[in-house]
Amino acid sequence: MDFTFTEDQLLFCDSVKNFLQAEITPESLRASWDTDTGRSDELWQTIVELGLTAMLVPEAQGGLGMNELDFILLAQECGRVALAEALVETALVATPLLSALVDKDPRCASLLEKIASGEIRVAVGHPANELVSDAHVADWLLLPSGDQIHLLARDQVKLVTQHSVDPSRRLFTVEWKATDETCLAGGPEGVQLLAASLNRGALGCAAQLVGLAEAMVSLTVDYTADRHQFGKAIGTNQALKHHMANCAVKSEFAKAPLYRAAYTLSKAPQNADFAVSHAKVAAGEAALLAAKNAIQSFGAMGYTWECDLHIFMKRAWALDKFWGHTGFHKNRLHQWLMNPNAKIGADKTFGIQG
């Protein structure tokens, strides 16, 4: 048994982390709030050139043929910088969904090739969310209707903007019509694909939430070292140290279920419900506590628009409610645990589920 990442996975993550931290700054995010799309085509092309959109695309379609476990650390880094571009959903949700249908419908293979090469972007709708994020910059949309999954070009749908509390997010209600031609899958297969998408979306959120939690703690630790009251740095006060210590414990402890969930999704996705919900709940709690304790430690500064903290807090509050809110995922945990056939016990720690 080995619960660690490989040297290659860690090295790749480091290089992507460096890239993201150089390119995505609070200043660049703020500048994007005032633009029409809130997104940068140039940035997306750089992301494509780094191979990030191709990671989970099968090799046959020009991708790298990697899996969720290879991507999970990168998703965490996307959260750490509060990346607004929909990289995590593209890699973790759209790509695996299209890959699952690649033998069935020739359109999927073509789309995958173009995602890998950066020619197109694909947005994903799901009943768990009601709204579709980044639909305005997508060339194609994967949309659910009952047990079916449909593929529509952007000019086949009408987008209604829904303004978000997080100024970086771009959310839309999509008005569209399902036809036989747009349908990619349905019936039991559609149900199974939608369930898998929910798990992948929730996993991506959980990873970003852990990154956001750590980013907020890091900002706060720096601030409390600089800010002086009563003749000393406020970070010397136990009250504030304890706030940050509690956050550190939560986010560090959220990583184990997060990586566990990524592993299960890559090896046995049909059994991943419990692991994913566990990760989403733990990561959400870590991020929400970090937001609460960070703004508290920043004092009044943290409550201002000028202070960068709200960029991260608002993203955390938003992602906590996306791809299934905490209540939804807690219920999934309860339901699984109360099942008389649940495989629980010390010897089942790394079993199929649990």
Partner 1 sequence: MKLSFSPEDEQFRVEVAQWLQQNLTGEFEKLKFRGGPGDEHMFPHERQRWEQKLAEGGWTCIGWPQECGGRGCSIEQQVIFNEEYARAGAPGRAGHIGEGLAGPTIIAFGSDAQKQKYLPGIVAGTELWCQGYSEPGAGSDLANVKTRARFDEAKGKWLINGQKVWTSLAHESDYCFVIARTDPDSVAHKGLGFFLVKMAQPGVEVRGIQQITGTSEFNEVFFDNAECDAEDIVGEPGDGWKVAMGLLGFERGVSTLGQQMQFQNELNAVIREARANGADHNPVIRQRIARAHAELKIMRYNSMRMLSGQGGSDGSLQKEALIYKLFWATWHRSLGELAMDVLGPDSQILEDGPYQLTRLQSMYLFVRSDTIYGGTNEIQRNIIAERGLGMPKEPKVAVQ
**Which residues of this protein are in contact with partner 1, per CB under 8 A?**
129-131, 161-167, 169, 171, 228-232, 234, 237, 239-240, 288, 292, 295-296, 299-300, 302-306, 310, 313-314, 317-318, 321-322, 325-327, 330
Q: How far is the CB of 86 from partner 1 (least distance, A)?
A: 16
Query: 142-161 burial by CB neighbour count: b if 16+ within 10 A, else e?
Result: bbbbeebbbbbebeebebee
What is the Cα–Cα distance from 282 to 290, expressed in whole angstroms?
Answer: 12
Residue closer to partner 1 by CB (options 53, 297) is 297
Task: Using the Cα atoms of residue 167, residue 153, residue 110 and residue 126 in order, give the sign of their dihedral.
Answer: positive
Q: How far is the CB of 232 from partner 1 (least distance, A)?
A: 5
Cβ burial of 219 (10 Å; 0-12, 13-18, 19+) is buried
What is the Cα–Cα distance from 93 to 68, expressed in whole angstroms?
Answer: 10
Q: How far is the CB of 303 from partner 1 (least distance, A)?
A: 5
Residue closer to partner 1 by CB (options 107, 330) is 330
Q: How far is the CB of 39 from partner 1 (least distance, A)?
A: 17
What is the Cα–Cα distance from 110 to 256, expressed in whole angstroms?
Answer: 36
Residue closer to partner 1 by CB (options 34, 180) is 34
Residue closer to partner 1 by CB (options 239, 346) is 239
- Partner residues linked to 309 by β-bridges: none
Cβ burial of 239 (10 Å; 0-12, 13-18, 19+) is exposed
Residue closer to partner 1 by CB (options 59, 222) is 222
- Can you tell me which residue has the tokens 């990561």? 283
What is the Cα–Cα distance from 309 to 311, expressed in whole angstroms?
Answer: 5
Q: How far is the CB of 327 from partner 1 (least distance, A)?
A: 6
Residue closer to partner 1 by CB (options 253, 317) is 317
Sequential DSSP letters for 125-161: --TTTSSEETGGG-SEEEEEETTEEEEEEGGGSEEEE
Q: How far is the CB of 318 from partner 1 (least distance, A)?
A: 5
Residue closer to partner 1 by CB (options 136, 292) is 292
Q: How far is the CB of 1 from partner 1 (least distance, A)?
A: 35
